Amino acid sequence: MPAEIEVAKVQGSFVFDTENKQYIDFIMGWCVGNFGWGNPALTEKAKQFNGPDYVYPGYAYPPWDELAGLLASIAPGKLKTCFRATGGSEAVDIALQAAMVHTGRQKFVSLEGSYHGNTIGALSVGSSEYREACRNLLARCYKIKPPLGATSLDRVEKLLQREDVAAFIMEPISINLGVLIPERQFMTGLAKLCKKYGTLLIMDEVATGFGRTGTLFACEQFNLEPDILCMAKAITGGLGGMGAAIMTPAIARSMEDRGNFYSTYGWHPRSVNVAIATVQYLIENQIRLLDNVAAMSGYFDERLAHMAFKETPELRIAGLAIGVDVHDKAYASRVQAKCRRAGLLLTAEGSTLLILPALDIDQRIAGQGLDILESCV
């Protein structure tokens, strides 16, 4: 794929290319830069780092405990123990392994068309399309086809009642499926069925985590208490590579007893330093940030609803995860390219335009970006 732009710098909600052309960023690294690029609270902390170059994973390192404690303090339910990963795919793989080790089962259920990362494990629970190119993915991962309403629960129950499914994995609000928002009844029913048949519930919050959908984690919106939750992306605001699988103490014990896990660069000291700063920033600014997400979400909704797309789009909006399904893949891709030329970055996933702005974007910049979009539809 040819690169669309050659990046020289990023600042706030802007990307600048090597010819100093400015773009409004409605992608933010796909849910990485939730707190704006160059956020001083994070960049200053990164500059001041004077910790060790590296810590061998077999040693103790107090900032690991500090970060794990902070994550446990904001994670939903009884999630208390973190496994240290380098990114989202590795966090998902840890979650899959922990589920197999803890339950003694080998099968999974996930959503058709989903994306959970690029390792063989993560691809195995992703879209069936990946299987066409790579047949040796994990033998058994059953798929549930959206939409996710109460009627899909029958199929879920049929799969789980065999009592051989280790875990059900999904994004609670699937950004990768164009901001697919499940019905509340589906999520409550799913949690009940998982409990009934001894299947673990893994929530992949790699993209949705850290405020993106209007709550710290999207599963809070369904009062869900997952058994394992995967995080990455915005965990460092972009200043370091990191992932984490946080789980209940009982599952973590199974993993420690019978699992196999070692990550050389998982939670590198430099990444941990900025992740601590990021989570502290999020906790301290939670009310302001989430209020802004709610206000801007309404503003995007209002503006998008009045835009003259080729056909009336379906708007799927959860906080600042915004999917605009224009019902035509080629049209979506044309609009995206036109926006880029006009100085606005957004992505097109199939027939859906995805808008994922910084959580602290102000109405002036959001408005300028939307003006560009309006002139391109």
Q: Can the peptide bond before residue 226 be classed as cis, meaning omega within 30 degrees of 0?
A: no
Q: Measured from the CB atom, is 29 or 51 closer to ligand PLP? A: 29
Nearest approach, Cβ of 30 to ligand PLP (angstroms)?
6
Q: Which stretch binds ligand PLP (CB under 6 A): 13-21, 88-96, 313-321, 331-339?
A: 88-96
Nearest approach, Cβ of 176 to ligand PLP (angstroms)?
5
**Residues in binding contact with ligand PLP, number by CB under 6 A:** 15
Backbone angles phi, psi at 355, to 5 degrees: -120, 120
**34, 39, 89, 213: residue in contact with ligand PLP (rule CB under 6 A):** 89
> Is position 84 an interface residue for ligand PLP (rule: CB under 6 A)?
no
> x/- binding map, residues 90-129, to ligand PLP, per CB under 6 A?
--x----------------------xxx------------
Q: Which stretch binds ligand PLP (CB under 6 A): 1-9, 82-90, 264-272, 324-332?
A: 82-90
Q: Which stretch binds ligand PLP (CB under 6 A): 62-70, 85-93, 273-281, 367-375?
A: 85-93
Q: Which of residues 256-315 bind ligand PLP (CB under 6 A)?
A: none
Nearest approach, Cβ of 263 to ligand PLP (angstroms)?
13
Q: Measured from the CB atom, is 242 or 372 closer to ligand PLP? A: 242
Q: Measured from the CB atom, is 218 or 366 closer to ligand PLP? A: 218
Q: Measured from the CB atom, is 95 or 194 closer to ligand PLP? A: 95
Angle at CA 173, nearest 5°, toward 352 and 144?
A: 85
Q: Please name the residue that has the structure tokens 């590198």.
A: 268
Q: Measured from the CB atom, is 171 or 325 closer to ligand PLP? A: 171
Q: Which of residues 13-32 bind ligand PLP (CB under 6 A)?
A: 30
Q: Which of residues 217-256 bind ligand PLP (CB under 6 A)?
A: 232, 243
Nearest to 214 by CA among 244, 181, 178: 181
Kindly list the strands in the beta sheet with 7-11, ordered across the sheet, starting from the edge strand earlier in the chain: 7-11, 14-17, 22-25, 344-345
Nearest approach, Cβ of 232 to ligand PLP (angstroms)?
4
**35, 101, 186, 204: residue in contact with ligand PLP (rule CB under 6 A):** 204
**25, 93, 171, 325: residue in contact with ligand PLP (rule CB under 6 A):** 171
Nearest approach, Cβ of 87 to ligand PLP (angstroms)?
3
Distance CA 153, CA 145 (A): 11
Nearest approach, Cβ of 153 to ligand PLP (angstroms)?
23
Q: Give the interface with ligand PLP as residue ranges (CB under 6 A).
A: 30, 87-89, 92, 115-117, 171, 176, 204, 206-207, 232, 243
